[in-house]
Amino acid sequence: MSKSWALEDAQTLVDKLPKTFTKPSSDVLKPLEGGHKAKLVFKFASDNPRAPDFEHLWVEILLVEDDKKLLGQLEDEPQFIQDLRRGDIVEFEERHIIDTD
């Protein structure tokens, strides 16, 4: 089953909307490990005319692999994304992170 959402690249968002989005520096991202939290932007499709284009959701990092791929557990309950729930496991990369704890 295909998912209705995709993760947005933080630099792309900063380039498009510099007053809205920031991207953490590599000095902030480098020490991330299990137990830290990261905020990701989920782009999704919806039939709801009141739904935004994105949801900003926190994940708790569970695993950081050598090539900087990360695995996290969703900490927030999405308001509009129908096929994503709090507690779901999300695979992502450093390039997707817009904020950290």
Residue 3 has pLDDT above 80, yes or no: yes
Residue 85 has pLDDT above 80, yes or no: yes
Query: What is the span of the domain harbouring residue 51?
Result: 5-100
Count of domains observed in the chain: 1
CATH of the domain at 62: 2.30.30
Q: Which residues of 15-33 are buried (b: 16+ CB within 10 A; e: fewer)?
A: eeeeeebebbeeeebeebe
Residue 50 has phi, psi (to 5 degrees) of -95, -5
pTM for this prediction: 0.90
| pLDDT tens per residue, range 22-80 | 888 888 888 888 899 999 999 998 888 888 989 999 999 999 987 679 999 999 999 99
pLDDT at 59: 98
pLDDT at 8: 95
